[in-house]
Amino acid sequence: MTQATSGNAVIEVENLVAGYGDRTVLNGITLSVDSGEIRVIMGGSGSGKTTLLRSLLGLKEIAAGSIHLLGKKFHYGYPKHMSEVRRQMGVAFQGGALFGSMTVGENIRLPLREHTRLDENTMRIMTRIKLELVNLAGFEDLMPSELSGGMIKRAALARAIILDPKLLFFDEPSAGLDPITSAELDELILRVRDATKTTIVVVTHELESALKIADRITVLGKGEVLMTGTVEEIRNSDDSRIQDMLNRRPREEDQDPEEYLRRLTTMQH
């Protein structure tokens, strides 16, 4: 089900095809995300959600189709153009991706140093404001190795929002977190969006988080969009693949006995 754009779309993906070498992972993805929306992208392993995220972030080239971010076409491979777009985007990566040799504060300040000419005092206050927001006040002089998993995620979030980006991306924010910390992070995501009206895209497989924070969910399956809809619409979907996901049912393998035999016995030359 495709969503008609409301004219308010800040992310527009059209017929996106992407993969690695000969292996096509995304087979023509079309979706759009509205300003201020929290969109959760879900899908099983191999559905292409990581490839989709990487394409949106300009971390990989696409084979066909187009990506428009904030109304402008996104061209991979043009450093100046990508840098300008990236200034309006924040990304919280799965493992945090903090530099181990820098303190928490220095990590958070990196985008400021890269994209602005702000005074040190200003940058320090901005860093502390973001640390307060993610409940890491007072931790700015610690090294990443001294932080717990939850704290690393929060520091990564602080860095992702330091430039008050219009687009914010999360890659598996709950990965490795206990349920309480995960719930706290969900709350934080909602708070940030409500106050700043930032558009947020969350790639996750954590169903509970998704249902709690999403305005709309896009479900990917085998490189295609199975459905984009509100939590209600997704719940009521009669697509068995979506119901399987909601009910945590394992996938059934299509078993073609001849194909199977061939795979087991073919000699490589």
Other C-beta atoms closer than 10 Å to the C-beta of 244 total 15
Minimal distance in Å, beta carbon 266 to other proteins?
60
Check if the beta carbon of residue 23 is closer than 8 Å to that of residue 41. no
- CA 121 to CA 247: how far, in whole Å? 51
The least CB distance from residue 147 to other proteins, in Å, is 22
Site string for other proteins, 157-196 (x = CB under 8 A): -----xxx--------------------------xx--xx
For residue 17, the surrounding DSSP H or E stretch is strand 9-20
Minimum CB distance to other proteins, residue 87 (Å): 9
Asked if 118 is part of the footprint of other proteins (rule: CB under 8 A), the reply reads yes
| CB-nearer residue toward other proteins: 194 or 208 | 194
Residue 135 interacts with other proteins (CB under 8 A)?
Answer: no
Euclidean distance between CA atoms 3 and 90, whole angstroms: 25
CA distances from 150 to 42, 107, 125 (A): 22, 16, 23
Q: 38-43 and 64-69: which strand pairing?
A: unpaired
From candidates 109, 130, 154, 159, binder to other proteins by CB under 8 A: 130
- To the nearest whole angstrom, how small is the minimum distance from the Cβ of residue 110 to other proteins? 14
Positions touching other proteins (CB under 8 A) are: 112, 115-119, 121-123, 125-126, 129-130, 132-133, 162-164, 191-192, 195-196
